[in-house]
Chain A
């Protein structure tokens, strides 16, 4: 069988599709939209997940929080001294941080203290990081700089826990490429942070524990829990697992949008699979009557399904890519932003999972072709006279 025959059948199929151009254009439009939504979700969630895992690779191996009356509570620094003596623990550092609500711009900041500075070669930070004993200086994230219209050398005033105003000189600023990590951060010295929040002496927000061998971290976490029953250790693997779950298929956004898109597709395919229109049946009957084989009719329907589904899939997936990586997923942004005033203006790194794309293709293109062929096969094995007369 020559390739010419197949090309001729494809020409005939396209001619036939053009006869019902509005109906078929409508199907391509809806099908492309379904792929666009599903593809955007896949791109967005996979990129977030990959970026979070890469960025948080060096997060603390173990965080120890204290709980009191079922809530997170400040932890005594003396816990750190005891935990540091556990075998396998290489270092315990108290972390001092908290949230600050800025009523001026109605935004929440994360205030954190640093006890060491970044390397000067770090391209994502400009200026100086305020260290231990460095009073009155702060480094801020790009989101805060945008919200307060400030830059290096400017001053920012914050209201301390005792009601007094504390002025900070902006000594450093995180570059916009690090916004997914630093957008709402204010870094200051531990002494300034303690004054700002009115921390009592000898307590920290939580403890960061380093272990000599990471595989021993769960054992050390258990030991800490046994020694201090009022604590809650959080392993780095749990932190990474959280992001796996947040952007996994069970997350609200993914499930809601994906389910909606898939239901729309199922309705579309179901409508095709449950029967042919009278006009389509008549067309099959006439073709059979003038001598076309059943296999030729099935080939027409195969091409019909392929032309519609492949065109829609390719269009939808390209638009989804442009939407997520060039337009910043602008359709989903209102849901992702929530009530946040400071929202990171990040550009996601285009990590693509080809396996997911192949799965999406096999879940949409193949069922659509099948749903086009099966009813036509039923019509084409029936007597032409019966089909034409209906």
Chain B
């Protein structure tokens, strides 16, 4: 067997696995979408605003409701007590002028 055949066989095997993955993903994705009305009903009935992803701080349990504007509060993106706080993105401060100018006396 030629050496190139091993390479082609490996690529073919990987493509076969990827094909199976795509097929499985389609199926599982459709299953999730099929059960999503039940999840949406829970959201609507309990009037939930956030996913239950991390429970160590208010701003990681309910990122959309957290009072990020409060002074001296830890907030997503800061170097803080909770590791999951550094997982979430910092607020968009692009509209504010955040340049610090240091002048010589």
Q: Which residues of B contact A182 (CB under 8 A)?
A: 42, 52
CB-CB < 8 A to B90: which residues of A? 250
The answer to whether A122 touches B84 (Cβ under 8 A) is no
Which B-chain residue is minimally distant from A255 (CB atoms)? B89
With a 10 A CB-CB cut-off, give which of B47, B61, B76, B84 has the most chain A CB atoms.
Answer: B47
Query: In this assembly, does A331 line the interface, its C-beta being within 8 Å of a C-beta of chain B?
Result: no
**Contact among A59, A107, A245, A351 for B89, CB-based, below 8 A:** A245
Interface: A89 (CB within 8 A): no
Flag A106-124 by CB within 8 Å of B: 1 or 0 each: 0110101010111100111
Q: Output the nearest chain B residue to A121 by Cβ-Cβ distance.
A: B38
With A70-B70, A314-B11 given, is the CB distance from A7 to B52 under 8 Å? no
For B40, the closest partner residue in chain A by CB is A58
Asked whether any CB of chain B lies closer than 8 Å to the CB of A187, the reply is yes
Of the candidates B6, B35, B55, the one having the most CB atoms from chain A within 10 angstroms of its own CB is B55
Question: A38-78: which residues lie under 8 A (CB-CB) from chain B?
Answer: 48, 51-52, 54-60, 63, 65, 67, 70-72
Give a binary string over A297-338; 1 marks a CB under 8 Å from any B CB, 0 the rest.
Answer: 000000000010011001101100100010000000011111
What is the interface size of chain B, counting residues whose CB is below 8 A from a CB of the partner?
65
**How far, in Å, is B7 (CB) from chain A's closest CB?**
6
Q: List 9 A-B contacts (CB under 8 A).
A: A10-B7, A48-B53, A112-B46, A232-B67, A239-B50, A246-B88, A335-B87, A340-B84, A350-B28
Chain A contacts to B: CB under 8 angstroms: 7, 10-11, 14-15, 18, 48, 51-52, 54-60, 63, 65, 67, 70-72, 93, 95, 99, 107-108, 110, 112, 114, 116-119, 122-125, 129, 141, 143, 174, 177-185, 187, 206, 208, 232, 234, 238-239, 242-243, 245-246, 248, 250-253, 307, 310-311, 314-315, 317-318, 321, 325, 334-344, 349-352
- 10 closest residue pairs by CB, A with B: A338-B84, A349-B32, A314-B14, A339-B56, A350-B25, A251-B89, A58-B44, A239-B64, A14-B3, A242-B64
Enumerate chain B interface residues (CB-CB to A < 8 A): 2-4, 6-7, 10-11, 14-15, 17-18, 21-22, 24-25, 28-29, 31-33, 35-36, 38-58, 60-61, 63-65, 67, 69-71, 76-77, 81-90, 92
